[in-house]
Structure 1
Amino acid sequence: MIKLKTGFKIIAGLIAFLAIASIGASFYFFHVAQVRGDKPFLSNAPTPKSSPVYQDEQDFLKLDKETLSLKNDGLTLKAWYVPAEKPTDKTVIVVHGFNSKKEEMTAYGMLFHKLGYNILMPDNRAHGASDGTLIGYGVTDKYDLIKWTNQLIKTNPKSEITYFGLSMGAATVMMASGQDLPKNVVNIIEDCGYSSVWDELTFQAKDMYNLPAFPLLYEVSALSKIRAGFAYGEDAASSVKALAHNKLPVLFIHGAADDFVPTAMVNQNYAATKGPREKFIVKGAKHAEALETDKAGYYAKVGAFLEKY
């Protein structure tokens, strides 16, 4: 009997230890995934001068910019506004990716500047010059995007607005597509966005740490629900679910060699949308490198899509 009781104590102790270790790990990975700060697993190297987009970035930085502010959820959000060379009602909102900022989207800004668009380039919450400590993965960011949209429309009721997003920004514009958007939003372009937060973080847990989703991701998702207001598996955190309600034209762009947001995800997103749709897969392009890999093809595809829709 004494040995049995001792055995139960050992087992109980092990269970308690594992539970504490699991909870500690979940707090650590929540911080890595969702709390503002440096992410050592991401490269922040500047664009080399040999890059096809280097000069575009430099040229965009020389353009006249106005810094705009927006209040949402008690946060002050910042954005650059760059008017087109010639007066136009066409405006694109360019949304950056995870742990990025508007300054890293200048090559895309120059693309739309050359196409004759006004450009609004926000810093997402918890990024760049904007307030916030928790990264929204597009779930909370989509509401900021819609508020920026309404601010543009208030300034110019005739605005014809395009949404463009890269990576997490792509998920943001896709998630926004499932909302009751103003009629001024006329089309959407997404580049390398994920199918859902759950799918992407499940992939990253396996790819980066060789960890299964259970139990850790469930625990981190629960922390997100408590602290950020959303769980990773909710419909609100799914691009696919949002696109199922979308009837706007969408151009889906992805790199064929993307090993950060798997290329297969673009097919899920493409299949889900209900409006006109086009797909552009760039051979040899890794994550968020489609423009740099095939600049001429990228320009041609985006230009043709905007001309058509």
Structure 2
Amino acid sequence: MKRKFKVIIIIVSLLLVLFVGAGFFAGNYFYNLALNPNTDKSAVFNAPQNSITISPEEAKEKEETEKWFKENYEDSFIQSFDDLKLHAYSLKNTNETNKWAIVFHGYSSDGSQMSKYAKHFNDSGYNVLVPDARAHGKSEGNYIGMGWHDRLDVVSWINNVISSDKNAEIVLYGISMGGATVMMASGEDLPSNVKAIIEDCGYSSVWDEFSYQLQATFNLPAFPIMQFSSMVTKIKADYTLGEGNTVEQVAKSKTPMLFIHGSNDTFVPFEMLDEVYEAANVPKEKFIVEGAGHGGAESVAKDSYWKTINNFLAKYVE
């Protein structure tokens, strides 16, 4: 009987070791796929529900605004809370103004890809600052923060603006991961200079977004892959996937917020809009763009997109 019991213990132990080993292997694979900035992201971006196309008209506008962007920006740098050198593009308005828009890009992108948004804010009378998120563009970093550590970088950029313009009236704008970033930043103790926040198609939490992508892209369950991926993330990036909770941060916000989402978004599911909107206990508005996919609200809604934003901001920015 003793021998049989020992055999059972050995078998169970071996199975447990195999399970844990396989779990960490899978967790490390998905960490590298999702959060290592140096790995190929085509498996994610080429998935049917994640594909994004632009029209010839959009391509032409992109070319024009990129030209304007390149001709008008200056480089700006700060040191992050964990000693990374972070970069941003600074575009001063031709007219002297205390109005500032800090514009945040999406996942696996960089600040230079936000040229059309930067130009719209600039044309509306704002100085514009467009940071490269950590591990993106010209900013240092070994991992993608998904908005969590980036939220503290947002605070650093805000303070950087205020250090040169103490009367600055600041608007935060972000799209996709940038949208989640500004929402996560909203739960921090922001200076009164921050007057309003606009998020476009940000996710309700890092955990929910990755769990959704696991199922939609790879047809895999969240358990136990998310648990192991979160442990690997803690080891390599010093945060867990559960920490990046946008809903919890928005619930602590004291800043008026505008929430934007396309009804046909299948990269960050449209249903996440209600989660973040309902969590907000501040003056808030919701703008749903029918038929728009991920990041496509501006292209589909066109003038009404910017009219909605301008009308919202007119209530809070002088």
* TM-score where L is the length of structure 2: 0.90
Q: Which residue of 2 aligns with 1:34?
A: 35
Contact 1:47 1:54 in 2 (8 A): no
Contact 1:59 1:110 in 2 (8 A): no
Amino acid at match of 1:25: A
User: How far off is 1:15 after superposition?
Assistant: 4.4
Deviation digits for residues 135-191 of structure 1, max 9, x if unmatched? 111110011111011011000100000000111111111111111001111100000
Within a 5 Å distance, the mapping from 1:52-131 to structure 2 comes to 53-54=61-62, 57-72=65-80, 73-131=82-140
Within a 5 Å distance, the mapping from 1:126-275 to structure 2 comes to 126-234=135-243, 237-275=244-282
User: How far off is 1:9 after superposition?
Assistant: 5.9
Query: Taking structure 1 as reference, are residues 301 and 175 closer, same or farther at Cα in structure 2, changes over 3 Å only?
Result: same
Deviation digits for residues 91-131 of structure 1, max 9, x if unmatched? 00001111110111111111111111100001010101110
User: How far off is 1:77 after superposition?
Assistant: 0.7
Query: Taking structure 1 as reference, are residues 255 and 46 closer, same or farther at Cα in structure 2, changes over 3 Å only?
Result: closer
Q: Which residue of 1 aligns with 2:24?
A: 23
Deviation digits for residues 43-95 of structure 1, max 9, x if unmatched? 69996542274355245325411100111111111110001121110000001
Query: Taking structure 1 as reference, are residues 228 and 257 closer, same or farther at Cα in structure 2, changes over 3 Å only?
Result: same
User: How far off is 1:229 after superposition?
Assistant: 1.9
1:308 match: secondary structure: coil
Distance across 2 between alignment mates of 1:258 and 1:90: 31
Contact 2:172 2:182 in 1 (8 A): yes
Q: Which residue of 2 aligns with 1:290?
A: 297
Query: Taking structure 1 as reference, are residues 45 and 201 closer, same or farther at Cα in structure 2, changes over 3 Å only?
Result: closer
Distance across 2 between alignment mates of 1:218 and 1:109: 38
Distance across 2 between alignment mates of 1:242 and 1:58: 33
Structure 1 residue runs of 5 or longer lacking an equivalent are: none
Identity of aligned residues (%): 41
Distance across 2 between alignment mates of 1:50 and 1:82: 25
Amino acid at match of 1:69: F
1:57 match: secondary structure: helix
Amino acid at match of 2:34: A
RMSD: 2.1
Distance across 1 between alignment mates of 2:30 and 2:108: 15
Of 213-222 and 17-26, the range deviating more from structure 2? 17-26
Deviation digits for residues 230-254 of structure 1, max 9, x if unmatched? 21123xx111111111121101000
Distance across 1 between alignment mates of 2:211 and 2:277: 21
Q: Which residue of 2 aligns with 1:278?
A: 285
* TM-score where L is the length of structure 1: 0.92
Of 46-55 and 283-292, the range deviating more from structure 2? 46-55
Of 9-18 and 123-132, the range deviating more from structure 2? 9-18
Amino acid at match of 1:206: Q
Distance across 2 between alignment mates of 1:13 and 1:304: 63
Query: Taking structure 1 as reference, are residues 260 and 45 closer, same or farther at Cα in structure 2, changes over 3 Å only?
Result: closer
Structure 2 residue runs of 5 or longer lacking an equivalent are: none
Contact 2:103 2:128 in 1 (8 A): yes
Contact 2:247 2:276 in 1 (8 A): yes
Amino acid at match of 1:166: I
